[in-house]
Amino acid sequence: MHLSPPPSAGRMLLAAAVATATALATTGPVTAAPPNTLSSNDDRQKQYAAAAAEYGVPQNVLLGVSYLESRWDAHPGQPSTSGGYGPMHLTDAAHVLALPRSAHVGEDEDPRGDDSRPLTLDPATTAAPAREKPLPTASLQTLDAAATLTGLDAQKLRTDPAANIRGGAALLAAYQKALGGPVGAGTDAAAWYGAVARYSGADTSDAAAAFADEVYDQLGQGATRTTDDGQRVTMAATAARPDRGVLSRLGLRHAQRPDGLECPVRLACEWIPAPYEQLSADPGDYGNHDLGNRPKQQKIEYIVIHDTEGYFDPSVDLVKRADYLGWHYTLRSADGYVAQHIKAKDVGWHAGNWYVNAKSIGLEHEGFAGNGAWYTEAMYRSSAKLVRYLAQKFGIPLDRQHIIGHDNVPGITAAAVGGMHWDPGPYWDWSHYFDLMKAPFRTLGTARTGLVTIDPDVTTNRPAFVGCNQQPPGVPTPTPPAEPCPSHGSSAVLLRTAPSADAPLVNDLGLRPDGTPDTMYISDHGARASAGQTYAVAGRQGDWTAIWYLGQKAWFHNPTKAPTAKWSTGFVVTPRPGRATVPVYGRAYPEQAAYPDTIPYQAISPLQYTFAAGQRYAVGGVLPGEYYRAVSFDGSAPGDRTVVRGKNRYVQVQFGHRIMFVNLDDVLILPSPVGAPR
């Protein structure tokens, strides 16, 4: 998604603010920067202390802002999903725009995912995000101002953590001076609320306030952690009661927050509606979502996590088009701001699977799944608050069977599997995300209880993916070989055919029908298991554990001293006695007899995978067979806007990287065994 919106008044004010910050570097209110005496090998704690003293910023304020941007991680040379670099998230969108990336929706793709009414978008519409680039706004180009303030070149600010911290301190001090606030390392942290709010880059007062409030909440709690490059950093708990009245001096607009907006109170959220419009005289020609009556008519089972494959403003511009597709929320990376587009009662076109669409809420996060970019702490926190709120409101369990990635959504038919999306990608930190939702991956199992929940240490788990800046559609076989991705922590573990690091990766028949092994290409996710996903144990050998995965044993490295998974308990399914195999489905539709004469039967089509006797898969729930009929703009089609329910019941299983479904009549549900295979 890369269409460019016109600059808003708030963005123009931010541009003026950065210009003011740049001017301050030459007019004297901020201390001129001496030559950098700290190298990136020095103690990170000392780097924060030195930068705070140099530019007159309270050290805890500098640490707090940095924590909310990056959790103090360096990500050396790698941009965030909003083009930010380093611990202080200095943004350089102009540089990032030059990096290759994929489009959000490919040609001939059906985001609605209903083969009874296929939706193919206009190729010109799907191509537009890849062709057009947004002009960097002030909030997406703070690295330039930091370079002017510090005298450091852009490359050093992008790659050297110490320089980056100095740049962030210089910006904070410049913002504080522009607001007429006191500057000095010994000043009261409470007096810096306005500068912290401006640092967010937000263009609405509530988004700036939400960012600043989150920083000050963290100041009150304190924090200690080891960064991605092994630096131990501590922020002592500090009580501060900031003056929020200074927000009015930032000149930011007020977001539209009408009654009925489905967001928690303290979350910066705005109503930017997706259109529901008829596009021609044909009642079946409309966009970009369907009306519904959830949860009264149909339970909401899932929240689907996406990334936009583009920047926030162009992505929001797309969801405002009636001839495009609609999702429920878009989240901005830099400050965690949220826009709601569709009410939860209505059905978005976002997951590429109509059964999942009809039972889910879709969240798009600003960013890119595979170019090595990292997701900001501000966006993780906003998303976690929103998901927790929605889960409580609609009774959705906070687990990885119901909070799923777009990459976990199954294809509706065997032919559709290969075209399904893989966002938010292996760099999304599921474990941290669930910690923020106050639903950590805690288990009570042992090595003999039969289930295992994937949960690697994201800081140290760094698979050697390739092709981050080479993302052709489909499953690639790069020629020449794809370039290595930057070293990056991942929540995914690799799955191999044998308990050896030299063994080939397992095969996903939906991606490689010829049976060849999957690859390390970043988008080739058929041989990975992700944090929070639970699988049935199929064997153990030394430091390796096998799970049942897509009809085969799949091995991952799981040493006792540095485990990448946790032993779990729960329920599994296995074929009923006498069944050599049972079919696996990508949607849980009713049997033919359940359909009235007014509604065409929706075929129950098995996928290409084999679930054989002796195999076990973790249970994610038991669901009724359901089909939501929605094919006309005004509900005039026979049987429109009704839910067909049958006698069929299905069991959701973690069959591979994606969830899938089996008919309850075909399987037995059993407690996970005590005495796992050895």
Question: Cβ(226)–Cβ(232) under 8 Å?
Answer: yes
Judge whether residue 324 has pLDDT over 80. Answer: yes
Tell me if 124 is assigned to some domain. Answer: no
SS3 5: coil
pLDDT value, residue 313: 87
Tell me if 360 is assigned to some domain. Answer: no
Question: Cβ(211)–Cβ(334) under 8 Å?
Answer: no
Question: Cβ(653)–Cβ(573) under 8 Å?
Answer: yes
Token readout for 407 is 């990459």
pLDDT value, residue 675: 59
Tell me if 286 is assigned to some domain. Answer: no
Token readout for 562 is 């540095």
| Owner of token pair 């930068």 | 51
Model confidence at 259, pLDDT cuts 50, 70, 90, reads confident
Task: Return the percentage of the chain with pLDDT > 70, whole number.
Answer: 86
SS3 540: strand
Tell me if 503 is assigned to some domain. Answer: no
Tell me if 268 is assigned to some domain. Answer: no
Question: Cβ(617)–Cβ(653) under 8 Å?
Answer: yes
Model confidence at 30, pLDDT cuts 50, 70, 90, reads very low
Tell me if 552 is assigned to some domain. Answer: no
Domain, as residue range, for 143: 13-97+134-250
Distance of CA 78 to the CA centre of its chain: 17
- pTM more than 0.85: yes
Question: Cβ(196)–Cβ(215) under 8 Å?
Answer: yes
Judge whether residue 676 has pLDDT over 80. Answer: no
Distance of CA 300 to the CA centre of its chain: 20
The backbone torsions φ and ψ at residue 466, rounded to the nearest 5 degrees and listed phi first, read -130, 165
Question: Cβ(332)–Cβ(307) under 8 Å?
Answer: no
What's the pLDDT tens digit per position in 155-213? 999 999 999 999 999 999 999 999 999 999 899 999 999 999 999 999 899 999 999 99
Beta bridge partners of 223: 235
What's the pLDDT tens digit per position in 343-391? 999 999 999 999 999 999 999 999 888 776 799 999 999 999 999 999 9
Tell me if 412 is assigned to some domain. Answer: no
SS (H, E, C) 153-217: CHHHHHHCHHHHHHHHHHHHHHHHHHCCCCCCCCCCHHHHHHHHHHHCCCCEHHHHHHHHHHHHH
Could you tell me the CA-to-CA distances from 327 to 81, 324, 349 in Å, in that order? 19, 10, 6
Tell me if 564 is assigned to some domain. Answer: no
Number of domains the chain contains? 1
What is the pLDDT of the chain when averaged over all its residues?
A: 88
The mean pLDDT value for 13-31 works out to: 36
CA distance 86 to 159: 7
